Amino acid sequence: MKVLLIDDHPLILQALQSVIQSLGSDTTVVGAGSARAARETLKADADFDLVLLDLHLGDADGFEVLVEFRKSYPALPVVVVSASDRHSDVIKAIDLGAMGFVPKRASNDSLFEALNMVMSGGIYIPPMTLGSEPAPKPQGDTVPSVLRVVGEHAQDSSLPGATSALAAIGLTPRQTDVLALLLKGLPNKLIARELNLSVETVKDHVAAVLRALNVSSRTQAVLAVSQMSSQGGLNAWRNSAR
């Protein structure tokens, strides 16, 4: 595994390099102390398996770098590793396309769990209570970019049955179908076409799903479903629901 680590604090950069390197002899870690250095590294060699990105860089805003990299290298997963663990930052990072968010205060085991989950195609988020901190309200029928990435690899367009967790929160089979398509990044119009429903009916189902999950946006729904799994990952939940 080849990892690009971006952090402008030399001591933290060195420490994280050592930790990630310990994953195995086949792991290569390349450090970049700035956004500029990271751009130059990827321009010279884009053959990386993973990017770990600090949000607070001396020469750029980490969120802007995240958007830039997701656009320029859509197949390259980015995991945010940040001193911040605010819910709003976690949600914003996932909404902008990050495949994981690891607070710097997390343990090495948590970091390893996050890397393994992301490399397996899942989304990693730190343990947190959704809805306890307000998040920016999406405008219109927006779809988080991370859902589009996940949707590219999705195999089924519906879930054959609800998991016990979904049943416990009271989702109907139709709402479960809507949730499955929502997690794949489909907007309401395409969900309506897929399920042969009106757009207004789909909107009602989406609203019901968000209420049942106790969240206020599609991005938060992804995070909530991720946390339902004992493994903490979206893919694990999908597999258990098939």
Over the chain, what HEC string results? CEEEEECCCHHHHHHHHHHHHCCCCCCEEEEECCHHHHHHHHHHCCCCCEEEECCEECCEEHHHHHHHHHHHCCCCCEEEEECCCCHHHHHHHHHCCCCEEEECCCCHHHHHHHHHHHHCCCCECCCCCCCCCCCCCCCCCCCCHHHHHHHHCCCCCCCCCCCHHHHHCCCCHHHHHHHHHHHCCCCHHHHHHHHCCCHHHHHHHHHHHHHHHCCCCHHHHHHHHHHHCCCCCHHHHHHHHC
- What residue ranges of the chain are covered by domains with CATH 3.40.50.2300? 2-119
Q: What percentage of the chain carries pLDDT values higher than 90?
A: 32
Annotation: CATH topology of 2-119: Rossmann fold (3.40.50)
Q: Would you say 123 and 93 are in contact if contact means Cβ atoms under 8 Å apart?
A: no
Instruction: Choose among 72, 66, 45, 68: nearest CA to 54.
Output: 66
Most confident option among 47-51, 114-118, 182-186, 236-240: 47-51
On the question of pLDDT at 146 being above 70, the answer is no
Residue 137 binned pLDDT confidence (cut-offs 50, 70, 90): very low
Residue 170: partners with Cβ closer than 8 Å, 6 or more residues away: 212
Residue 159 binned pLDDT confidence (cut-offs 50, 70, 90): very low
50 backbone dihedrals φ, ψ, rounded to 5°? -160, 145
On the question of pLDDT at 133 being above 50, the answer is no
Residue 138 binned pLDDT confidence (cut-offs 50, 70, 90): very low
- Tell me the mean pLDDT in the region 94-109: 88
- What residue ranges of the chain are covered by domains with CATH 1.10.10.10? 145-241
- Tell me the mean pLDDT in the region 134-163: 41
pLDDT tens, position by position, 1-25: 899 999 999 988 888 888 888 877 7
Lowest average pLDDT, out of 41-45, 155-159, 211-215, goes to 155-159
CA angle 83, 11, 96 (to 5 degrees): 35
Query: What amino acid is encoded at 96 in this protein?
Result: L
Residues 79-91 as b/e (b if ≥16 CB within 10 A, e otherwise) read bbbbebeebebbb
CA 91 from chain center: how many Å? 9
Question: Is the overall model pTM greater than 0.85, yes or no?
Answer: no
Q: What CATH number matches the domain at 145-241, 3.40.50.10320, 3.40.50.300, 1.10.10.10, 3.40.630.30?
A: 1.10.10.10
Q: Which residue has the higher pLDDT, 70 or 148?
A: 70
Instruction: Choose among 233, 236, 6, 3: nearest CA to 125.
Output: 233
